Amino acid sequence: MGYVPSDYRFVLNRKGPCMSIVTSLIGPVTGLLDKFIEDKDQKAKLAHEISTLSDKHAQELALAQVKLNTQEAKGNWFQSSWRPATGWVCVLALAVNYLISPIAAGFGIVIPQADGGTLMPILGGLLGLGGMRSFEKTKNIEGK
């Protein structure tokens, strides 16, 4: 997920002291309209604009975040290929450890093996993530 400045997170979450400050200022600011604006329609229009200003700003931020997330989701070759490449490296290392090396040892050729203690957590993590993705697809709850 892209970066949203901490100053704006209160708008998206609708929590925290900043939001209460904004809402507490709306009343006094709209109260000032009585002193300076005579026309009731114009006063009501301005009061409405002031009261919905933070909502408009929050919506603009949310739309900007959606646009950023869409761009990040497209990614590039490296972003979309690192996980499969890591999986293939693990598969090749396991093939060397458990297939090629034992066969070569029968002919007197010694092939160094990769450490299984570092391979298995990586492969297990990748398989676990793949399993969760498959589970999400079957339950139709894709969490992109």
Same domain for 40 and 16: yes
- pTM over cut 0.75: no
144 within a domain of the structure (yes/no): no
pLDDT tens series, the chain, 144 aa: 444 444 444 444 444 455 566 667 777 777 777 777 778 888 888 888 887 887 888 888 899 988 888 887 777 777 667 778 888 888 899 999 999 999 999 999 999 988 888 888 888 887 777 677 777 778 877 665
Per this entry, what is the length of the chain?
A: 144
Range of the domain at 30: 6-74
First and final CA of the chain: distance in angstroms? 10
Helical H segments across 1-144, by residue range? 6-13, 17-36, 40-74, 77-95, 101-106, 116-139
1 occurs within a structural domain: no
Q: Domain total for the chain? A: 2
